[in-house]
């Protein structure tokens, strides 16, 4: 039997996972393909054990339709997003849906072995707490640096000493003996945001945290570029940057004036009791005038950098994610600068807002990537 078309298979799983479809008739209507195509895809998924047939639905004039659903008891995915100072781990069902998440402190500069040992322990803990006895199907990880996707190797990360060239995907496969997927954190988060929003058109997603990363979603697909390294907006040169030295070795990069790390460094240099992005957020929430002013200026710098992209790409939406997206003043400053710098016809219907997937965006995105990659058939 020939394989069903990959795009129809994936769309079928997505519709069943979202609840938008529950029968073959629903799938024919929503996918706008021939009934024979849907029957072929469903038959293969049933043979794999990826989906189940359970009961019948209400009749709409003909035979009562058989109800289809994803198999949720075959195992779990574990996923992790690494930041400069934190790691967030999650547990996903075979449909890719995030079921639980936890966060703990790390120092990315400690290097791969120490970080992976800590993440492994966290994976064990979250599985014991939320999925005891269920087999591990696959693992996913999002990293704050350029990733050679789908091969899972880091390529020259500026803020991750000791990680350049490290084969993260191989390490995960060796540790867990299952399929492993590794991606850049902003790209994984963009997938998670897009999935959460369901229908957004073309989207520019920016992850503004300790560093700044970006991603374009066009035609419901991540734009990865020639080597998969697209979206490194953090090292775009910006005016009025003060020629500050960047972690990449250059000067005047966006990261030096608009990132959480830059804000913490600048405020500490002014004698304020700020040592981390968490402190910056707390001081902004407490309406410290000096902090609010600096955060607003950082948002304006990001808006300047994004304005050229909006003029060039004409997206339907710009979404700000990452920890700084929790600050209204930062998002408002980005929005104001985009309206000021972009051509009016391009901003007339442009949506500019904070992430709705929040801190779980990358975990949700990894769950979706694993659903497309992992073998979820019963053992």
Nearest to 373 by CA among 152, 106, 108: 152
Say if residues 351 and 112 touch (Cβ distance below 8 Å).
no
pLDDT bracket for residue 1 (50, 70, 90): very low
Residue 376's pLDDT is 56
C-alpha dihedral (26, 31, 33, 34), degrees to nearest 10: -20
What does the pLDDT average to over 345-369?
95
pLDDT at 6: 60
The Cα 329–Cα 65 span in angstroms is: 51
Return the residue matching tokens 């929430």: 285
Q: What is the DSSP string of 142-202?
A: EESS-EETTTTEE---TT-TT-TT-BHHHHHHHHHSSEEEEEEHHHHHHHHHHHHHS--SS
Give percent above pLDDT 70 in the chain. 93
Q: Give Cα separations from 101 to 79, 123, 126, 138, 307 (angstroms).
A: 9, 10, 8, 16, 34
Averaged pLDDT for residues 333-344: 96
**Residue 15 token pair:** 């519709």
Name the least confident of 52-56, 72-76, 140-144, 148-152.
72-76
Least Cα distance to 268 among 249, 242, 237, 294 occurs for 294
Q: Is residue 44 helix, strand or coil? A: helix
pLDDT band with cut points at 50, 70 and 90 for residue 73: low
| pLDDT at 377 > cutoff 60 | no
Domains, in order of start, for the chain: 6-70 (1.10.10.10), 76-190+361-373 (3.30.420.40), 200-355 (3.30.420.40)
Work out the pLDDT band at 251, boundaries 50, 70, 90: confident
| pLDDT interval class at 72 (50, 70, 90) | low
**341/85 Cα distance (integer angstroms):** 34
**Predicted confidence (pLDDT) at residue 177 exceeds the cutoff of 80:** yes
Tens digit of each residue's pLDDT (9 = 90 or more) over 258-292: 999 999 999 999 999 998 999 999 999 999 999 99
137 touches 177 (CB < 8 A): no
Say how many CA atoms lie within 13 Å of 108 toward its Cβ. 21
**Residue of 63 and 61 predicted with greater confidence:** 63
Query: So what's the pLDDT on residue 60?
Result: 64
Backbone CA torsion sign across 103, 107, 109, 114: negative
Please state the rounded mean pLDDT for residues 359-376. Answer: 88
Question: Which is more confidently placed, 247 or 273?
Answer: 273
Confidence of residue 375 (pLDDT cuts 50, 70, 90): low
Cα separation, 246 vs 266, in Å, equals: 13
The residues that bridge with 217 in the sheet, in sequence order, are: 203, 222
Q: What is the pTM of this model?
A: 0.82
Burial 12-33 (b: 16+ CB within 10 A, else e): bbbbbbeeebbbbbbbbeebeb
Average pLDDT, the chain: 89
3-state secondary structure 61-111: CCCCCEEEEECCCCCEEEEEEECCCEEEEEEECCCCCEEEEEEEECCHHHC
For CA atoms 166, 169, 173, 176, the dihedral sign is positive
Q: Which stretch of 212-221, 257-266, 366-375 has the lowest confidence by average pLDDT?
A: 366-375
CA distances 15 to 24, 76, 214, Å, are 11, 20, 27
Check pLDDT > 80 for residue 110.
Answer: yes
Q: Compute how many other C-beta atoms are within 10 angstroms of the C-beta atom of residue 87.
A: 19
Residues 153/184, Cβ–Cβ less than 8 Å: no
What's the chain's length in residues?
379
Average pLDDT for residues 103-117, to the nearest whole number?
Answer: 93
- Of residues 249 and 314, the one with the higher pLDDT is 314
What confidence tier does 11 reach under pLDDT thresholds 50, 70, 90? confident
């Amino acid at each position: 039997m020939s394989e069903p078309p990959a795009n129809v298979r994936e769309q079928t799983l997505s519709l069943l996972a979202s609840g938008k479809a529950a029968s073959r008739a629903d799938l024919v209507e929503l996918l706008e393909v021939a009934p024979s195509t849907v029957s072929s895809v469903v038959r293969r998924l049933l043979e794999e054990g990826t989906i189940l047939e359970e009961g019948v639905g209400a009749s709409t004039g003909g035979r009562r339709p058989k109800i289809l659903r994803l198999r949720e008891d075959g195992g779990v995915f574990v996923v992790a997003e690494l930041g400069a100072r934190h790691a967030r781990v999650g547990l996903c069902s075979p449909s890719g849906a995030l079921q639980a998440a936890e966060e703990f402190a790390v120092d990315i500069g400690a290097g791969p072995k120490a970080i992976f040992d800590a993440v492994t322990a966290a994976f064990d803990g979250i599985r014991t707490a939320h999925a005891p006895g269920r087999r591990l199907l696959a693992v996913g990880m999002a990293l704050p640096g350029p990733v050679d996707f789908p091969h899972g190797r880091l390529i020259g990360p500026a803020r991750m000493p000791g990680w350049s060239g490290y084969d993260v995907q191989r390490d995960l496969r060796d540790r867990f003996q299952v399929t492993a997927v590794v991606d850049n954190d902003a790209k994984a988060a963009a997938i998670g945001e897009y999935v959460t929003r369901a229908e957004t058109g073309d989207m520019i997603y920016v992850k503004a945290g300790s560093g700044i990363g970006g991603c374009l979603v066009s035609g419901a697909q991540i734009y990865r570029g020639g080597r998969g390294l697209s979206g490194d907006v953090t090292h775009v040169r910006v005016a009025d940057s003060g020629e500050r030295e960047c972690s990449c070795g250059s000067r005047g990069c966006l990261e030096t004036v608009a990132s959480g790390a830059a804000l913490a460094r600048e405020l500490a240099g002014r004698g304020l009791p700020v040592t981390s992005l968490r402190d910056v957020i707390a001081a902004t929430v407490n309406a410290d005038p000096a902090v609010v002013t600096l955060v607003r200026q950082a948002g304006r710098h990001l808006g300047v950098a994004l304005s050229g992209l909006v003029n060039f790409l004409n997206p339907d939406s710009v979404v700000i994610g990452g920890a700084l997206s929790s600050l209204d003043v930062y998002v408002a400053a980005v929005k104001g600068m985009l309206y000021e710098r972009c051509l009016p016809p391009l901003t007339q219907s442009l949506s500019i807002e904070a992430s709705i997937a929040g801190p779980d965006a990358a975990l949700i995105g990894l769950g979706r990537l694993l659903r497309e990659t992992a073998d979820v058939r019963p053992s």
